[in-house]
Structure 1
Amino acid sequence: MKVCFFGLGSIGKKHLKNLCKIAKEKDINLDVHAFRTRKNSLELKGLDKEIYSKKLLEEDYDIIFVTNPTFKHFETIKMMENKTKNMFIEKPIFDNINYDITDIKFENGIYYVAAPLRYTGIVDKLKEIIKDKNVYSIRSICSSYLPDWRPNQDYREVYSAKKELGGGVSIDLIHEWDYLTYLFGFPKRVVNFQGKYSHLEIDSEDLSIYIAEYEDKLLELHLDYFGIRSKREVEIYTKEGTIIGDFIKEEISFTSDEKDKINFLANEDMYIAEMRHFIEMVLDNKNNPNSPEHAYNVLKLIKESEKNESINNNLW
């Protein structure tokens, strides 16, 4: 299997390591290329060839991994659409919605956009639990401390800190909207308030709060970069009680007498589980749980909700 990585930063390296693990399990011979813009050898385990010119890219890759900065995704996908039939695209699919997704040939293959939270077990179990519930409201939060994300790097220099590179919690933490739309569908209306409020030395937004309206319920979503104690969970309020999915503790708990707690102590890292499923999609043409079209619609939801009209100051 011949693959090519575009971008081998922290997430690209993680995917390469996991790809090598899964390939060994499945007895797949890998030929791994990496397209580079800087001539500094990586010397990564599992990497066979570094390419520094577009002219030297081959024409028949089995998989392209688009793991470079978000603002480069569209041009990378366009450049490689005729050189492969399968792509693994890191989230978010693009940095904005000004691109025409219909310009890309997403056909006759697997084009998957990363959604690792789907592989914790919690999301699918929640979907099963709520299918016969009358949900009144949902409250979701993802709060963590950006300087702790990449301990060996200056947080001020990573893409998350830089708006022009696609940084900011609204896009960086797009996983929350991915699983929320998977569970509850797309809302009919969303408002969003965001900005830079903390001491962090970044120019991207470090706080983003959404209120979403459905036909029969409301949803609140809180995202931030400054939570000293990490918190990632969803609370689902129903007639029978509250269902709480905690992605850090890897458990689902209930306030009703129906159940006490369901634990999901992971057998493996969610990124490894995701890579395994992706390779199985490519080999066996399995169903794609996160297509480019769905990922683009999630991005569109986020970007269009940013266009809030000013609140009338004469309300009082």
Structure 2
Amino acid sequence: MKVCFCGLGSIGKRHLRNLHTVAHEQNLPLEVHALRKTHTPLDDTVQALLSRQLFEERELDSDYDIAFITNPTSLHYDTVKAMAGRTEHLFIEKPLFDSAWYRLEDLKLNPQGVSYAAGPLRFSPVIQKLGEILSREPVYSVRVLCSSYLPDWRPGDYRKVYSARKELGGGVALDLIHEWDYLVALFGFPQTVFRVSGKYSPLEIDSEDLSVYIARYPDKAVELHLDYFGRVPRREIELFTESGTITGDLFANTVTFTDGRERIHYEEEENESYLREMRFFLSHVESGAAYSNLNRCLAVLNIALGKEQA
């Protein structure tokens, strides 16, 4: 299997390692190229996973099985367009793009291939357990919070990371699109969404540090709060039901209940969700059947950016 990574920052390296792990499990041979924009040396463990490093688009081959789009969000659309004729399948890191107004049909993707936009929280055991519960228990209100302090979350000079820079696709609406992604996975698309978003804290960034949404469904309301300035990291979803409140804590990997049911705790590392996602993606590639979630992810992007109501 011949693969090209376009961008090899922290998330690209994670996917590279996980690709090798899953390929080894499935006895899939790999030849991995990496198209990079910097000549900064990679550490030895990462270099050992690559067959070639490329620094110009003209060095790319035209017969890749998979291209991983793992560069800054602002570059995704142009990179996908450049790779569309060079690869059978695509894995695009979240969020899909930095704008909701791009047209997928202009990309001329392989209609027989797999075009997948990432969303690892769909594969979280907490979210998967909540999905099971929802099949049995009606929910009439949902409250979601994702809050962390950007200088702690992005080590080093937080002012220089992509999260802090609007032109690179930073800001909580895009950076924390995981929440809308799993909400749509659990409940489908809302009827209407109201959003308040902007820069409110003293953080030295030019991207928005707060987005708050109220979404209306036929049978429920959803509140979603995303921020970069919460000093205590929290990533939680609360489901209000007739029997009580069910809370999924995505940092603690727990599901708790107020009605006396036993607390559930999943003992696993964060990377396990990413590995499940990689297995899911490769299973579709290996199946030979066409698959795409790009239209869905573009619609999620519309909601996150407040461009239109679903």
Flag whether TM exceeds 0.5 (same fold).
yes
Structure-2 change in CA distance of 1:47 and 1:182 (3 Å)? same
Q: Once the 2 structures are TM-superposed, how far is the Cα of residue 8 of structure 1 from its aligned partner?
A: 0.6
Root mean square deviation, CA, Å:
1.9
Alignment check: 8 A CA contact 1:4 1:64 kept: yes
* 1:73 matches 2:83: no
Alignment check: 8 A CA contact 2:7 2:37 kept: no
| Same amino acid, percent of matched pairs | 49
1:15-164 pair list within 5 angstroms: 15-42=15-42, 44-104=47-107, 105-151=109-155, 153-164=156-167
- State the secondary structure of the residue aligned to 1:253: strand
Deviations 1:128-184 (A, max 9, x none): 111232211100011112122233x31111110001111000110000000001111
- State the secondary structure of the residue aligned to 2:208: coil
For residues 165 and 18 of structure 1, the distance between their equivalents in structure 2, rounded to whole angstroms, comes to 25
For residues 262 and 304 of structure 1, the distance between their equivalents in structure 2, rounded to whole angstroms, comes to 35
For residues 280 and 227 of structure 1, the distance between their equivalents in structure 2, rounded to whole angstroms, comes to 38
- State the secondary structure of the residue aligned to 1:58: coil
Q: Name the residue aligned to 2:170.
A: 167
Q: Once the 2 structures are TM-superposed, how far is the Cα of residue 286 of structure 1 from its aligned partner?
A: 7.4
Any gaps of 5 or more consecutive residues in structure 1? 308-316
Structure-2 change in CA distance of 1:82 and 1:214 (3 Å)? same
- State the secondary structure of the residue aligned to 1:269: helix
Q: Name the residue aligned to 1:208.
A: 211
1:134-283 pair list within 5 angstroms: 134-151=138-155, 153-257=156-260, 259-266=261-268, 269-283=272-286
Q: Once the 2 structures are TM-superposed, how far is the Cα of residue 285 of structure 1 from its aligned partner?
A: 4.6
Amino acid at match of 1:220: E
Alignment check: 8 A CA contact 1:86 1:111 kept: yes
- State the secondary structure of the residue aligned to 1:164: helix
For residues 295 and 199 of structure 2, the distance between their equivalents in structure 1, rounded to whole angstroms, comes to 30
Structure-2 change in CA distance of 1:125 and 1:36 (3 Å)? same
Deviations 1:3-26 (A, max 9, x none): 001111111111112112222222
Amino acid at match of 1:177: W
Q: Once the 2 structures are TM-superposed, how far is the Cα of residue 186 of structure 1 from its aligned partner?
A: 0.9
For residues 161 and 239 of structure 1, the distance between their equivalents in structure 2, rounded to whole angstroms, comes to 41
Using the size of structure 1 for normalisation, the TM-score is: 0.90
* 1:295 matches 2:294: no
Alignment check: 8 A CA contact 1:192 1:305 kept: no
Q: Once the 2 structures are TM-superposed, how far is the Cα of residue 41 of structure 1 from its aligned partner?
A: 4.1
Using the size of structure 2 for normalisation, the TM-score is: 0.92
For residues 242 and 194 of structure 2, the distance between their equivalents in structure 1, rounded to whole angstroms, comes to 26
Q: Name the residue aligned to 1:311.
A: none
Amino acid at match of 1:266: E
Alignment check: 8 A CA contact 2:66 2:90 kept: yes
| Pairs aligned (count) | 304
Structure-2 change in CA distance of 1:283 and 1:78 (3 Å)? same
